[in-house]
Amino acid sequence: MIDLKPFEVCRMHSNELAFYKNIPIDMLEDTKSSLRAKGTKKFRIRFRGPRKVGQDLRDADQRQRTCLKLFANRFSVYIK
């Protein structure tokens, strides 16, 4: 189980909804298994990173709203 403490979000004075953010993409599987081991069953992963306009063939609105796992270099975790 990995330590997610460095990626925790201080939510005391903000409207932040993410529980963890800016986690490197190479920690994705470890993070998922760690959350499941803690008993967290429902969570959402949002990928973060650059939008590769030349390689991403989706329309402009979709590219602005979301980042594909293929192009992501970091991700955030939202607990449902």
> pLDDT tens digit string along 3-13?
888 888 876 66
> pLDDT tens digit string along 7-60?
888 766 667 788 999 999 999 999 999 999 999 889 999 999 887 777 888 888
Torsion of CA 46, 48, 50, 54, to 10 degrees: -10
User: What is the predicted pLDDT for the residue at 78?
Assistant: 92
pTM assigned to the model: 0.81
DSSP assignment of 15-54: ----SEEEEEGGGHHHHHHHHHHTT---EEEEEES---TT
User: What is the predicted pLDDT for the residue at 13?
Assistant: 61
